[in-house]
A and B are shown apart, each in its own frame.
Chain A
């Protein structure tokens, strides 16, 4: 019984290493991130993607580079363990799958449009839309984490929540997309550079 109490205490303490923010702290983070997003014209970063499926022994790890240019150019380039590029440009999704090229017109596809703006907003971290999400703010050791739970039934069928982790400067360092099953995709950014000039040539497929 005593062990159980200790275990319970331990659990409470470890959960508390991530505490909920006060309203003013949350407001301050929101302001910081929005300011940061507003001044961000380009982003280039490396990323590591972890796909977690509960039934697997290990997460599937893929790596690559991200390039973003305001207002809506995004390129995800996977380099390991395979080459695969997806470019969002002019309402079109350009895919280069190890040399095989493909295009998807997003103009006609509402889901893709939503996905695209979600991606852009989550890269910048600016997803503070209370109409679309239930939002909760947390403090971790050094960083902040915000949980976005989609209100829209259609998306909540596929996504339970987005957890976005920000560093002290208000930069996104990690995005985690959790599925209703508990499986998730986690993207961790590294060597992130803001406002480095990015030639348009990068955004070709």
Chain B
């Protein structure tokens, strides 16, 4: 019993909240609306050359994202030679697999991709807290019941961090940004060996 108590105490200590660990200052005074603008233009075809490193394997292809309507996106992936590997639809909180290659049709993989892409395309996640640190404004949000922190530098979204038990689980980094468009995006998983790097080839 005593061990249990100790280990519970230990858990509490080690699971300090992410904002605390990062020395964020709570600042709910600003009612700034959070918006991720990077896949919000319905007139645009977003096409990225993707390079994926999973464990020791490297492969590539094209990640294609299209906003169809309000809260409605298509996300598809093809090889460089045009073969479609998967095609997903996101409408509101619904998710549908329109197509996936048999070899990739694994529940775990689909789940990871679904969660990652949901972060990319969600334009206005619900904010529960806001913070300040140095020049950054940080918003605490929830996507698929998981806590995500959105970092803005001078009103530009620079990265998103998904956390679990106060630890960074997945990191989304937006770089080479100009006019609501991120030329490069990287998605790095810390609990599994998975990194996705996207470079825009939008014509």
The one of A57, A60, A86, A183 in contact with B62, judged by C-beta atoms closer than 8 angstroms, is A60
Closest to B102 in A: A157
The one of A76, A86, A97, A158 in contact with B58, judged by C-beta atoms closer than 8 angstroms, is A97
Decide yes or no whether A51 CB sits under 8 A from chain B. yes
Cβ of A58: which chain B residues have Cβ within 8 Å of it? Answer: 45, 203
Decide yes or no whether B80 CB sits under 8 A from chain A. yes
The one of B43, B60, B66, B101 in contact with A84, judged by C-beta atoms closer than 8 angstroms, is B60
Cβ of B47: which chain A residues have Cβ within 8 Å of it? Answer: 60
**Which of A51, A82, A84, A102 has the most CB atoms of chain B within a 10 A radius of its CB?**
A51
Q: Judge whether A55 and B66 touch: CB under 8 Å.
A: yes
Q: Judge whether A81 and B201 touch: CB under 8 Å.
A: yes
Instruction: Report A49-70 CB contacts with B as 1/0, cut-off 8 Å.
Output: 1010101111011100000000
Give the Cβ gap from A68 to chain B, nearest Cβ, in Å: 15
Which secondary structure dominates chain B's binding surface? strand
Give the Cβ gap from B60 to chain A, nearest Cβ, in Å: 5
Cβ of B76: which chain A residues have Cβ within 8 Å of it? Answer: 53, 55
Closest to A187 in B: B82
Cβ of A53: which chain B residues have Cβ within 8 Å of it? Answer: 64, 76, 87
Q: Judge whether B59 and A78 touch: CB under 8 Å.
A: no
Decide yes or no whether B156 CB sits under 8 A from chain A. no
Q: Judge whether B80 and A57 touch: CB under 8 Å.
A: no
Number of interface residues of B (CB under 8 A): 29
Given contacts A81-B203, A181-B99, contact A56 B84 (CB under 8 A): no
Q: Judge whether B66 and A56 touch: CB under 8 Å.
A: yes
Decide yes or no whether A40 CB sits under 8 A from chain B. no
Q: Judge whether B58 and A100 touch: CB under 8 Å.
A: yes
Give the Cβ gap from B28 to chain A, nearest Cβ, in Å: 39
Cβ of B102: which chain A residues have Cβ within 8 Å of it? Answer: 157
Q: Judge whether A86 and B98 touch: CB under 8 Å.
A: no
Within 8 A of A (CB), among B30-82: 43-45, 47, 49, 51, 58-60, 62, 64, 66, 68, 74, 76, 78, 80-82
Decide yes or no whether A87 CB sits under 8 A from chain B. no
Bound: A53/B68 CA distance, A: 13
Q: Judge whether A57 and B82 touch: CB under 8 Å.
A: no
Decide yes or no whether A91 CB sits under 8 A from chain B. no
Q: Judge whether A183 and B60 touch: CB under 8 Å.
A: no
Q: Judge whether A86 and B81 touch: CB under 8 Å.
A: yes
Instruction: Report B92-126 CB contacts with A as 1/0, cut-off 8 Å.
Output: 00000011011000000000000000000000000
Decide yes or no whether A149 CB sits under 8 A from chain B. no
Give the Cβ gap from B98 to chain A, nearest Cβ, in Å: 7
Sample 12 A-B pairs with CB under 8 A, ordered by A number.
A55-B66, A55-B68, A56-B45, A57-B45, A60-B64, A61-B203, A81-B203, A82-B201, A97-B60, A98-B51, A158-B83, A179-B84
Binding site for B on A (CB under 8 A): 49, 51, 53, 55-58, 60-62, 76, 78, 81-82, 84, 86, 97-98, 100, 102, 157-158, 177, 179, 181, 183, 185
Binding site for A on B (CB under 8 A): 43-45, 47, 49, 51, 58-60, 62, 64, 66, 68, 74, 76, 78, 80-84, 87, 98-99, 101-102, 199, 201, 203
In the A-B complex, the 8 residue pairs with the smallest Cβ-Cβ separation, listed nearest first, are A185-B82, A81-B201, A56-B45, A55-B74, A84-B80, A97-B60, A51-B82, A82-B49
